[in-house]
């Protein structure tokens, strides 16, 4: 029992670090002038990413927000964008960042983009492990939804 609690604590700590790193990866694009663009295609992708983020957040409801990947009370959310992808907020963060990066290609922006995706994946795997321990139905839900990108991953 102690080992299981220790694993949960470790996963939450890793998830916090990954979440902070995701945020820093996006913020680091601002001084590089690689986050926003005047290009209408980039703006379209970024507006769509923000809409996905808001849709996911509103679908999730008024549950408390945790920086740590801590499963919330109230059952597993499987409606709204969660009907198609398990992590729409992280997907929106990646689309937001990568739309800007692709419009302003540079090594430093690319490194921020890779960090954004890798730390997002760390966060996702920690969160999935914790949620599956809390909600046994998560395993079945995971078989019928995409993790981040429909028809890809």
- pLDDT digit string, tens, across residues 33-82: 999 999 999 999 999 999 999 999 999 876 666 677 777 777 888 999 99
Q: Where are the alpha helices (DSSP H) in the chain?
A: 2-28, 40-60, 88-103, 107-134, 138-143
Q: Indicate the pTM of the whole model.
A: 0.89
Pair 103, 39: CB distance under 8 Å: yes
């Amino acid at each position: 029992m102690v080992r299981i609690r220790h694993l949960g604590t470790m996963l939450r700590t890793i998830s916090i670090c990954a979440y902070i790193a995701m945020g820093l990866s996006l913020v680091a694009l601002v001084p590089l002038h690689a986050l926003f663009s005047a290009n209408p295609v980039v703006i379209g992708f970024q507006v769509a990413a923000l809409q996905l983020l808001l849709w996911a957040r509103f679908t999730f409801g008024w549950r408390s927000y945790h920086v740590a990947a801590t499963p919330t009370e109230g059952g597993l959310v499987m409606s709204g964008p969660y009907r198609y992808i398990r992590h729409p907020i992280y997907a929106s963060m990646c689309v937001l960042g990568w739309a800007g990066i692709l419009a302003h290609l540079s090594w430093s922006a690319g490194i921020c983009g890779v960090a954004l995706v890798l730390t997002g994946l760390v966060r996702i795997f920690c969160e999935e492990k914790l949620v599956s321990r809390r909600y046994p139905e998560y395993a079945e839900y995971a078989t019928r939804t995409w993790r981040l990108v429909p028809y890809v991953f």
